[in-house]
Each structure stands twice: as C-alpha cells, then as structure tokens.
Amino acid sequence: MASSRPTKTFTYTHPTLGPLTGLLSPDNVVQFRAIPYATIPRRFEQSVLVSDLSIEKERSELIYSMAKPHFTSSSASPQTLPSHEVSGGPFPGEESPWPMDEFKCLILQVNVPLATLEASENEKKLKDLPVLAYIHGGAFALGKIDDHHSTALMVQQSIIDNQPIISVSIQYRLGPLGFLNPPSSPQTNLALYDQRNALLWIQNFIAGFGGNPRNVTAFGESAGSMSICYHMLSSVPLFHRVILMSGILGPISSPMPKERAERMYEMLLQELEIQEKGEEGLERLRGVDVRKIVEAGERTNSTSQMWLPVQDEEWFGGHVTWDRIPSLLESCEWVNTVVLGGTGFEGITPLALAFALAMAPTSFTEAATEQLGHENAGKLFEAYGITPDMDPNQFLTPVMRWIGDVIFDGPTHMLARHLSTSSRKKVYRYNFDVRNPFPGQPLYQISHHWVDIYFVFKNYQFRFSSQKLKDISTQHARFWIDIANGKAPWNEYKEEGVVMIANERDGWTERTKEEDERITERNWRRCERLWEAYSGFKGQDDFIPFKMKSLEDKKLV
C-alpha cells in the first residue's frame, strides 16, 4: 500500500552491477525497483539479456528510477487499463493511468532483507538465501509490477519467521507486442523469451544480492502459472520448485498452431487497415502507434483467438498437444517439487458471466452435441447436470463450472492425478475457498478466479474487516515461504489425496480429497468425465472447447 511517509533509501554496491539504490519499504526490506533485465532492439524482435549496468548513463537512470516514489517507479507493457471494481478500488495514492513503454517494460523488482545486504557489505560474505520468483497473470494481455502484487511483505514475513528469502517480480511484453508471430519473422514467442531472460538474469546476478541461484522457486497465478508450465516444457533449467496457482496448460492454453497464429496476424493487419503483406506489412506494423496496436489486439482477442505462445520446436523440442501436458510436465527433470491448486469457483469472472448469459440450455446442448457427438456430449451433460429444458437461472451455475473446468480446474486436477501416481516429484495440492471480502464489489462473497491474489502477498490486509482474514493471508504467505525454503508445507498429495483447504470458518486445514468432496460437495470426477468427453480430440493442437456455433466470437478473457 502507498505511504505518505518520507521515502527512505538504501544504496548497496552489487559486486557486478555496481551501486544500486533501493527503497526501504517496509523498513527491514530493500526494494530494488525497475531493474532492466533485457533490451528490445525493435518492435516484434526478441529481447537481449542485459549483461551488466556498466554504462554510466544506464546506471544513473536506473538509480533515479529506483529512488522515485512508490507508484512511479516503472513502466508497464502497453495494455488496456484493467478495472479495480472487484478488489475494492485502487490503493491510496496509486497513480492512474500508469506509465507504459513498450521498450522500457522489461524490468524486474528484487526485494532483499536489509540485514542480508548490511552483512554482505560489512563482512563481504553473502548468505545464499532461497529465491522466490513471481510471474504475474492477466490472460497474457494485462499485468505489471505494482503494490497490489508486490512480494516485499512476503520477504518481511520470511524475516519474522527466521527463514529469510529474496523475492523477484518479473514484467514481460503483453498482447500482440509479446505474442504476435508474423509469418515473415523467424522469431516467435517473444514474451516467453522475455521471461526466460528475466529468469536467466536471476541466475547471473542474484548471488550478488545474497541469493542462491541453485535454489529458486517460481510461482505465478493464472497466465503467470501457465507461463511457468511453458518454461517446464523447454530444456533450459531456470528454477527448482514451482507453485502453480490456477493455471495449468490445457485445451484453451496449450501452444497454438502456426496456422492460427498467422490468422491472428492477418486479423491484426486488417484491423489496422494495413494492406501490405510479408516483410513490408511487418515494417508498416512497426510504424503504427502502440496504442492502436493494443486496441486492435483487444478486438481480435476472443474465445477462439487468444494471444498465446505458438508451436515452436526450438522451444518445446517437439509438437505439444493439450492431452500430453501432464506427461510432458512430469518429464521436466530440473523441477523436483510441484504445488498446485485453485479457487473455489474458477468459472466466475465478469466476462465469464457475460459469456454464460449469452447461452441458453437449448443452444448449449445443441452446440455441444454438434461439436462432440451424442455419446461424448452426453458425458458432458451428465457431469454437469445440464438438460436442454432446465431453467435458465439453474443453468448458469453448471455452465460457469464448465467454463472454469475447461480453463483452470480440469487441467489442474488431471495434472495432480497424473503426478501423484506416475511421478517421483513431490506434489502438494490446495484449494482456496475464501470468498471475495470487499462489500459492494461485483464478486463479493464469491471464491472467484484470482481471489487468492488478495491474500498471498499480504498487501490487502489493510482492507480486511476481520483478524481471521488477516491470519489466512499471513499463513498463505508463510506456506509459499516454506516451499521456497525447501520445507514440506503440508502432507504430499499421493494416492490418499491430501489437500490443504482455506476457508473463512476453519482457516487452513488438511483434508483427504474424499473428505473435502463430502463437506463441500466438490466433485473432481466431474473434470475426469469432461476429459473423457474430449477424448476424441486427443493429439489435436487446435481443439478449442468454446469454439461452438454462435459462441466462438464471444469474449471470455
């Protein structure tokens, strides 16, 4: 949260990067803000990892940017500004609109215990602290480093608990700036390479802050979690443990075929009235105002055309399809621990509700039958209790469950089931059932997608009306800190299926999967039946469950 107190700073001489000035916020944590980890040669080209900050001009600009007030310390990737209507509004003192710059957005924030830096300077001895790296979500179209997502209070909590960590938050290019794949360009998946460069920067420089590059835990929510999965599908070892919050790759989010990427490129050119093709069209696109590109990218984004990474053998080592994701993630040898989970009702978002309202029981059952055939459509209808003649109000809940399962819960459950029976990795599963705590907001009292973001960082505690909610938030942060320190946060998810559950009544409690299903009426068999209904599309990289007649142009994310 922004503060009106005078800004305190601390200058630390990094053994490679030289003098860096950070903010003391809170007082025992130094936030090194807006550190550039890569440069962008020009629009729609891969970023280049920064090797040092030896150029005086770069360093002076860096020191200035990190000493600026709390909300003016960095530029985000150009994007459409999201609403704060679900989270209780902007934080006090928050700058709006935020600064955006497509060429200065590749930055990260490093949060270090003050005592670690002081000891390093006085004793010339670094501490080898565990590193917790955060990749933000936002449907690959939104997001930035800000006070809502700051990990500084997690570092403070780690100090209180006597198991200090260093945290790093990463920005990357979004929307068409990060995911457009022009057919005339050999460079693909720009945003993934941005993220890789940030994680390589951690490997190269975190030791100079007192961190251990051989002890990195990556965590992310939604698209941030999916990003981590994409890195696990590559051959470059970047972290050792992962925390996957509401975001495992599945039918909607697996790498899209190059043909679809080319269609999206052509759609963007049409939106911008660019007639030229090939390299000439790309050059015209490079000259368009960035805001127009972002707006055109919004118009081309729909349930059947999302900005996603594209199939790339150099990155993935082969062809990736949605049904192979669990076995491919299992084969990532350099990750030894997987924590995964989601919220109580992943299918609830304002856009998902609008998407559900656009359907009726009759049109949905007809479209699903046309897509899947009678037998497999019957499995879907049975799993969700959907009939063509049901009341439209009664229909909304199961169809939003279906939306949440297709994107989030289904991939999470299928990966958990696979890893718990077929892998040597340590697997820990959780479910966050705490509801939105902000009265007057559209999703108040619903455990919607991303509601856990209001808790894990501890940044929203000043808005919580009860100590119980604050305690849940603090314990959430502690669990993630335990994982970064290599500790078991709770019992592993094996055949007996122990799950950690968070809710307002009990706080955090362990249950078996069977106990949880009995208490909450949660039914994971529903996801298994859904995957059975989609079995006819195994091996296909262009299967989109929402691509149904009359639905495919609706926006969902």
Q: What are the tens digits of pLDDT across the range 338-372?
A: 999 999 999 987 777 777 888 899 999 999 999 99
Per-residue pLDDT at 123? 74
Q: What are the tens digits of pLDDT across the range 312-332?
A: 999 999 999 999 999 999 999
End-to-end CA distance of the chain: give it in Å, rounded. 27
Q: In the chain, where does the domain assigned CATH 3.40.50.1820 lie?
A: 9-98+106-116+128-229, 338-537
Q: Is 254:322 a contact under the CB 8 Å cutoff? A: yes
Q: Is 222:138 a contact under the CB 8 Å cutoff? A: yes
List residues bridging with 305 in a β-sheet.
Answer: 302
Per-residue pLDDT at 552? 55
**Residue in the structure block whose two tokens are 């600009």:** 61
pLDDT level of residue 59 (50, 70, 90 thresholds): very low
Say if residue 3's pLDDT is above 70: no
Helix 258-271 and helix 290-300: axis angle, to 10°? 120
Q: What are the tens digits of pLDDT across the range 73-120?
A: 579 999 988 777 778 888 888 877 889 999 999 999 999 999 999 988
What are 42's two structure tokens?
A: 């020009």
Per-residue pLDDT at 553? 53
Order of strands, edge to edge, in the sheet holding 129-135?
A: 9-14, 18-24, 29-36, 107-113, 166-170, 129-135, 211-221, 241-245, 337-343, 426-432, 498-503, 507-512
Cα dihedral across residues 295, 299, 301, 305: positive or negative: negative
Helix (H) or strand (E) holding 214: strand 211-221
Per-residue pLDDT at 53? 63
As a whole number of angstroms, the distance between CA 271 and CA 152 comes to 41
Q: What are the tens digits of pLDDT across the range 244-285?
A: 999 999 999 999 999 999 999 999 999 999 999 888 999 999
Among 3.40.50.10800, 3.40.50.10190, 3.40.50.10540, 3.40.50.1820, name the CATH number for the domain at 9-98+106-116+128-229: 3.40.50.1820
Percent share of the chain, pLDDT over 90: 78
Q: What are the tens digits of pLDDT across the range 471-512?
A: 999 999 999 999 999 999 999 998 778 999 999 999 999 999
Instruction: Judge residue 49's burial from the number of C-beta atoms within 10 Å of its C-beta, 0-12 exposed, 13-18 middle, 19 or more buried.
Output: middle
As a whole number of angstroms, the distance between CA 14 and CA 166 comes to 15
Q: Which of 107, 109, 108, 133 is nearest to 29 (CA)?
A: 109
CATH number of 338-537: 3.40.50.1820
What are 542's two structure tokens?
A: 């262009």
pLDDT level of residue 124 (50, 70, 90 thresholds): low
Q: Is 74:33 a contact under the CB 8 Å cutoff? A: yes
- The per-residue pLDDT of the chain, averaged, comes to 91
pLDDT level of residue 183 (50, 70, 90 thresholds): confident
Q: Is 297:175 a contact under the CB 8 Å cutoff? A: yes
Per-residue pLDDT at 303? 57
As a whole number of angstroms, the distance between CA 92 and CA 135 comes to 24
Q: What is the pTM of this model?
A: 0.94
